[in-house]
Amino acid sequence: MKSHQKLWCGQILVVAVVCAAAMAGWGAASSAPTQEVQEQIPTIKKEVRLVLVEATVKDKGGKAMKILKQEDFLLFEEGQAQEIAHFSQDQLPLAVAMVVDLSGSIQPFLRPLRYASMSALKALKKEDEVALFTFTQYVDRRVDLTHDKLSVSDQIEFFEAGGATNINDGVYEAAKYLLEKAPAARRVIVLVSDNVPTAGGYSPNDVLNEALEADAAVYSLKVPGRNPIGAKALSVGRGLVNVKKLCEETGGEIFEVEKEGSLYLAFAALIERLKTRYTLGFYPGSNVNATERKLRKLEVKLHPSFGVKGKDYSVVAKRGYFPATK
């Protein structure tokens, strides 16, 4: 007898195979195996994690390609082609952690951020959830994951800016929270900052690994902060996270307020991008050892008929994942 049960919570597939063999010693009058025989029936259990990969595909002009099918995609793990076991677009619920920089450099953007978030977050689905974090030197979780998007934007009304810019800890704490509280959702971190860190706690490598562990794409809503030259020079020093690299490695993007024209337009474009990403899923091979905690490389491409990746189109997706430990 073979039974299959899929659990989206954690993306675990448990397959139980029970094999029963006829026993030579059974009497003709026996209609069921004895207790001793039942104890001898072997039960084999195997756990395999369904790995989900979020991807945005853009044409050579930078415009998102919104009408693609499963057969259009190719997915590789460590250079080996994988069978795509799941394919969807904006079907699974989202868990979004807004991580807002409250350093003095972004003071002028706090009031516009409230109104931008009120409108942009409404574009999410009813079942999508949003949490709110703020940071200066230290990180505060202001709002737990909620379906009430308005409660998130309302909090911004009372923010006061001033202090250091500890992006490292802000992203790390948000990723850790999402992994714990939203195991069944697509997880996203939206960093609202000028992306100029001036303080750190967790190392950049720790931040990246925690985001990958949480399977959380980091998106940046970049505002033009008022930083002195010294602060900008410090931001590239050792121990401080590189936001551009963090977004690229986790499959996110940077939306710049200056390029989009306003904070509202940038936020709206970011939310729209979240709604147009494709979700691909595959089951790792039996040779993947979760206990090694080794990053497995990933790559997403389109079918050769679409041309050459990097020339005819581009793909924004995470570049690796850590196998599940449980």
d(CA 7, CA 324): 14
Q: What percent of the chain has pLDDT over 70?
A: 78
180 located within any domain: yes
Cβ count near 178 (within 10 Å): 26
Q: Are 227 and 294 members of one domain?
A: no
pTM over 0.85: no
Q: Are 44 and 98 members of one domain?
A: no
Q: Are 210 and 174 members of one domain?
A: yes
Could you tell me which residues come within 8 angstroms of residue 29 by beta carbon, excluding any fewer than 6 positions away? none
| Domain range enclosing 240 | 94-275
Q: Are 98 and 170 members of one domain?
A: yes
The Cα-based distances of 56 to 70, 76, 118, 153, 280 in angstroms read 13, 16, 25, 27, 11
The Cα-based distances of 237 to 76, 103, 196, 225 in angstroms read 34, 19, 11, 18
d(CA 50, CA 37): 35
Q: Are 215 and 102 members of one domain?
A: yes
3-class DSSP state of 74: strand
Sign of CA dihedral 249, 250, 252, 257: negative
Q: Are 115 and 225 members of one domain?
A: yes
CATH code for the domain in which residue 202 is found: 3.40.50.410
Segment 153-169 mean pLDDT: 89
pLDDT recorded at residue 105: 81
326 located within any domain: no
Spell out the alpha helix ranges (H) of the chain: 35-40, 110-120, 149-156, 167-181, 204-213, 229-234, 243-250, 257-260, 263-275
Q: Are 183 and 107 members of one domain?
A: yes
How high is the mean pLDDT of the chain?
A: 83
Q: What percent of the chain has pLDDT over 90?
A: 64
pLDDT recorded at residue 26: 38
Question: Does the pLDDT value for residue 46 go beyond 90?
Answer: no
213 located within any domain: yes
| The total number of structural domains that make up the chain | 3
DSSP assignment of 272-291 = HHHHT-EEEEEPPPTT--GG
Backbone φ and ψ for 61, nearest 5 degrees, come out as -90, 0
Question: Does the pLDDT value for residue 238 go beyond 90?
Answer: no
